[in-house]
């Protein structure tokens, strides 16, 4: 019997290494794949599009915020892995009454490394998790030391109609900082993901406006729309997965961030 602690400081007990895992979060699903848990993961969500072969072959147990409890029960999981922000609290609490549930809670890169380490221990993949952490940490340290960071103000859009942006205390905000970008919505009175309008955007006048490819699929027409509101700003579409997925995909983020920095410098 082994005792583990998740990122909500909850203790979970496992009699043996889990062999029937359900992942409720896309970025963590991809992490489990890269840790080599192909046989152990039996269920994923309909948004877990990476890796593509898992998306085609694994049982989908609903969406991140709309889980199918019947499909979950049929899979007989011995471990369910979720996230405080991405999953719905009431559904997670119901799952906790029936199954062993491990939860992550992530707001920055440090929390990500902690999550990778802890999940490596829970799943019996300590070595793989350790190597991934070391590699990703090295690449982010290299980004910080070798790149001339921008020190430009920015706004990062995640939704349209209404406009929604990433605010303070979000993982995206931490990634922006690592690009040398200063989020104009990281200060009070703005929330973590505030709704804004054109007047607020014009008043704050960011030098850079980033439109995420997900969860809302911004297109070139939206670039023109935002350019009219802030004609002096540099407006561009960016890969939302590399700004918001806090699993193994992060190892590709520093190189991508360097490309963005070069374009904006």
Q: Say how far apart CA 234 and CA 258 lie, in whole Å.
A: 16
Over the chain, what is the mean pLDDT? Answer: 96
* Strands 59-60, 2-5: pairing kind: unpaired
pLDDT of 79 above 90? yes
pLDDT computed for residue 190 by the predictor:
80
8 A C-beta contact, residue 68 and residue 61: yes
- How would residue 149 be classed by pLDDT, with cut points 50, 70 and 90? confident
pTM value is 0.95
pLDDT of 148 above 80? no
8 A C-beta contact, residue 50 and residue 69: no
* Phi and psi torsions of 188, nearest 5°: -60, 150
Question: For residue range 191-234, what is the model confidence (pLDDT) as tens digits?
Answer: 899 999 999 999 999 999 999 999 999 999 999 999 999 999 99
pLDDT of 188 above 80? no
Percent pLDDT > 90 in the chain is: 94
8 A C-beta contact, residue 156 and residue 207: no
Q: What average pLDDT does this structure show over 88-99? A: 98
pLDDT computed for residue 155 by the predictor:
98
In the CATH scheme, what is the homologous superfamily, with its name and number, of domain 2-140? Nitrogenase molybdenum iron protein domain (3.40.50.1980)
Question: For residue range 169-178, what is the model confidence (pLDDT) as tens digits?
Answer: 999 999 999 9
- How would residue 243 be classed by pLDDT, with cut points 50, 70 and 90? very high
Percent pLDDT > 70 in the chain is: 99
pLDDT of 244 above 80? yes
The reply to whether 147-264 shares the fold of 2-140 is: yes
Q: What is the DSSP letter of 114?
A: H
Q: Say how far apart CA 97 and CA 190 lie, in whole Å.
A: 35
Closest CA to 176 of 212, 146, 202: 212
**Which residues, at least 6 apart from 137, have a Cβ–Cβ distance to it below 8 Å?**
113
pLDDT of 147 above 80? no
Q: CATH assignment of 147-264?
A: 3.40.50.1980
- How would residue 150 be classed by pLDDT, with cut points 50, 70 and 90? confident
For the range 169-176, what are the long-range contacts, defined as Cβ-Cβ under 8 Å and sequence gap of 24 or more?
169/107, 170/107, 171/106, 171/107, 171/108, 171/111, 171/112, 171/244, 171/246, 172/243, 172/244, 174/107, 174/108, 174/109, 175/109, 175/243, 175/244, 175/253, 175/257, 176/210, 176/243
pLDDT computed for residue 77 by the predictor:
98
Q: What are the boundaries of each domain within the chain?
A: 2-140, 147-264
């Amino acid at each position: 019997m082994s005792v583990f602690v998740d990122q909500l400081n909850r203790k979970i007990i496992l009699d043996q290494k889990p062999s029937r895992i359900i992942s409720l979060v896309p970025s963590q699903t991809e992490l489990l794949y890269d840790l080599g848990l192909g046989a152990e993961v039996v269920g994923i969500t309909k948004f877990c599009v990476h890796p593509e072969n898992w998306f085609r072959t694994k049982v989908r147990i609903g969406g991140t915020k709309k889980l199918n409890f019947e499909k979950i029960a049929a899979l007989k999981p011995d471990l369910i892995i979720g996230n405080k922000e991405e999953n719905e609290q009431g559904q997670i609490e119901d799952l906790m009454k029936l199954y062993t549930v491990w939860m992550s809670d992530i707001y920055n890169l440090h929390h990500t490394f902690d999550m990778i380490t802890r999940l490596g221990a829970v799943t019996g993949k300590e070595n793989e998790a350790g190597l991934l952490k070391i590699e990703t940490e090295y690449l982010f340290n290299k980004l910080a030391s070798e790149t001339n960071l921008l020190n430009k103000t920015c706004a990062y859009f995640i939704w349209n109609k209404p406009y929604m942006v990433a605010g303070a205390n979000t993982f995206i905000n931490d990634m922006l900082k690592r690009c040398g970008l200063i989020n104009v919505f990281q200060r009070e009175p703005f929330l973590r993901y505030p709704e804004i309008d054109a007047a607020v955007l014009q008043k704050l006048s960011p030098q850079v406006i980033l439109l995420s490819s997900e969860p809302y699929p911004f297109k070139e027409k939206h670039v023109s729309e935002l350019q009219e509101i802030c004609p002096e700003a540099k407006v561009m579409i960016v890969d939302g997965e590399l700004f918001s997925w806090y699993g193994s995909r992060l190892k590709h983020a520093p190189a991508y961030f360097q490309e963005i920095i070069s374009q904006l410098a």
